[in-house]
Structure 1
Amino acid sequence: MASILANHSVEAALEKYLPEEELKEVKRVLYGRPVEDIGSELPQEAHQSAKDHNFALQAYRIAAPPEQIRSPRLVKIGLIQNAIVKPTTAPLQEQRAAIHERIKLITECAAQAGVKILCFQEAWTTPFFFCTREKYPWVELAESAEDGLSTKLCQELAKQHNMVIISPILERDSENMDILANTAVVIDNHGVVMGKSRKNHIPRVGDFNESTYYFEGDTGHKVFQTEFGRIAINICYGRHHPLNWMMYAMNGAEVIFNPSATVGALSEPMWPIEARNAAIANSVFTCAINRVGTEAYEHEFTSGDTKAAHNEFGEFYGSSYVAAPDGCRTPGLPRNQDGLLVTDVDLNLQRQIRDKWCFSMTGRYDMYARELTAFTSGDYQRPIVQAPKQ
């Protein structure tokens, strides 16, 4: 089982070793109600593209019960996970051009599959150099959110394919004293830049000490009203903060994307839980995207966590998936292969689950607000009850 898991996914390991009926019950316990595999519904040209260019293509449907008054609100969501194409020692322009070409190719496959909202992984235009503590030459890859090369490419693709694209980049804000930001750019299906959402929470753990590159985001919890639904972007480390998910949901998001770059030794046991839990707690669809591969750097770096100096960051384990408001989720993409996950969802499920569980009606937001306000006032006294002295 270990070799299967190393090369593909938990789901593949379960399918190999469990009898069919037992497998169904295990999947029900682990993943909720079954989702429909719709890979056979995708055009043959999409499958052929995936085969020819060596990336996984998986497709599922998360349906909602039919309603008498509202029509289904169907939208196909796409997630792309990928490894860098060129080694980190290659000239920067070659690295970026190779990644652009790779993502353009997989995006075209997403268009063939009918995807209407497509999200790339965190900092998709660059290797994940934030671990190295070296700013040069890497910060040369930072670019404008409004008119950088990556944004222009995404504008062309979005307009060509009538597709909303979420493009997480390292942003260079030349209008604000050249600061750097970890930013997701949202381009609508007409090729227009709708705006950007910056990473709210900056990790300071092990190799993930990104505070040496950029500050916490200043865009709050924006929600983007697209033709295909209301979306928000909770970048990477923000998935560890439940209130971050909650604020996007409170502001009206129907689908919250979590473009990430995280490695197995640190976070993999948490990965299948956090986005799914957020979907349940906030009655929204969540999309967890993680890159794949191992990235090596010329100079050794250390982490401040007693580990010896090293050149490799660790293995990004992919496993991208979509979770629904009722807690069901798709199988994940492979752990070690580029991939495109297509998920056909009915946004009506969001209201249906809110009607069923009433989390938004039973939440005590007024009480939370009072206590949080008091907690941040600087002189907060915790209401700890002590046993009376004898």
Structure 2
Amino acid sequence: MKNLKVGLISHKFYGTKSATIARTKELIAEAAKKGANLIVLQELHQTHYFCQRENTENFDYATNFEDDVKFWGSIAKEFGVVLVASLFERRSAGLYHNTAVVFERDGKVLGKYRKMHIPDDPNFYEKFYFTPGDMGFAPIDTSVGRLGVLVCWDQWYPEAARAMALRGAQVLIYPTAIGWFMGDDVAERIRQLEAWVAVQRGHAVANSLPVIAVNRVGFEKATLSEISPKEILSNSKKAYKAGNACDDEGILFWGNSFVFGAQGEEVFRSECESELCEVVEIDMQRCENVRRWWPFLRDRRIESYGSLLKRFDD
């Protein structure tokens, strides 16, 4: 495909799963109407970002994984788009993954990717919930190209981007949920955001591939402990009210979803506050041209990279 039209969709949490999904569907319809043939959703887009606290009840969010897969397959088919969804997968009792699922235009599941790098930081207690992926870095073939789908924390690791590139990925995609702690000062917030943008721009340059990142927006409280997952999964008015309340403890997701081209050129970047439904056109032929001009893969000294397989080369 010479030109890829990708729809970037980012929105706040609407208090319940059903209300949030309804908003997602509205935005997918809008992106499809604008001509998107690939649509990327934000990380864990069906619910609030529950990893801010360790709570075993939150595993209930993964119990309907199979039904969620069927539903998003039907959405991909309804709008005739390749769709990248980000879901909480219950693989077995006590074994859960943060999983991106890729659907073809006809609703068929083409493949999935289980998040490999799992953070464990204040308000991002993902190691409590997610087992590291065991499917490797395998691009997924679709009607719009070979997609190198990764997830959020993976975006800090050049090894992950390179591994996808070496297996023929034609574009790198990152559904994301990252933001600011309310206690950080403005200067620190700017440093964090620009570091996040810079490292992914570097992936585009180093691999001569477009990079797409779709990040959450809005403020989410650190805890909804007074609201059970069952209420959030339903149409509970109590859950909706709690999901839209704001205090000083939580994450202000910083938006700034973007697309970089194969030379790291900025094709699109959103701002930090508004919900997003943007269709961005990517010239895929440039990837071939850039790799002819800058043959980084040709000049790699693969015989000298053994230390990359060590935790620390001391």
Contact residue 151 and residue 175 of structure 2 kept, 8 A:
yes
CA change 1:188–1:313 in 2 (3 A) is same
Measure the CA separation in 2 of the matches of 1:212 and 1:182.
12
Structure with the greater alpha carbon radius of gyration: 1
Q: 1:73 is matched by which residue type in structure 2? A: K
1:343 — aligned with what? Answer: 280
Mapping of residues 353-372 of structure 1, within 5 Å? 353-368=290-305, 370-372=306-308
Please say if residues 294 and 312 of structure 1, whose CA atoms lie closer than 8 Å, have aligned partners that are also in contact: no
Amino acid at match of 2:128: T
1:58-207 matches, within 5 Å, as 73-86=2-15, 95-136=16-57, 138-143=58-63, 145=65, 147-149=66-68, 151-173=69-91, 176-177=92-93, 179-207=95-123
- Secondary structure at the aligned position of 2:32 is classed as helix
Deviations, residues 188-244 of structure 1 (Å, cap 9, x unaligned): 111001121000101122222211112211111011111111102110001111101
Task: Please give the alpha-carbon distance, in whole angstroms, between the structure 1 residues aligned to 2:114 and 2:203.
Answer: 19
Find the counterpart in structure 2 of residue 4 from structure 1: none
Match of 2:250 in 1: 313
Query: Is 1:298–1:311's contact at 8 Å kept on the other side of the alignment?
Result: no
Shift of 1:143: 4.2
Paired with 1:177 and 1:251, the residues of 2 have a C-alpha distance of 32
Query: Is 1:252 the equivalent of 2:163?
Result: no
| Pairwise CA distance, 1:311 | 6.8
Deviation above 4 Å: which 4+ runs of structure 1? none
Structure 1 SS opposite 2:25: helix
Aligned CA distance change for structure 1 residues 381 and 250 (closer, same or farther; 3 Å): closer
Unpaired runs of 5+ residues, structure 1, are: 1-71, 87-94, 301-309, 383-390
SS at match of 2:168: coil
Describe the SS at the equivalent of 1:270. helix
Structure 2 residue runs of 5 or longer lacking an equivalent are 182-188, 227-246
Q: CA deviation at 1:352?
A: 0.7
CA distance in 2, matches of 1:366, 1:120: 38
Paired AA for residue 171 in structure 1: E
| Aligned match of 1:67 | none
Q: C-alpha root-mean-square deviation of aligned residues, in Å?
A: 1.9
Which residue is equivalent to 2:207?
A: 282
* Structure 1 contact 320–341 (Cα < 8 Å) conserved: no
CA, structure 1 residues 381+277, in 2 after alignment: closer, same or farther (shift >3 Å)?
A: closer
- Per-residue CA deviation, residues 233-270 of structure 1 (Å, 9 max, x unaligned), is 11000111110111011111111111111113463132
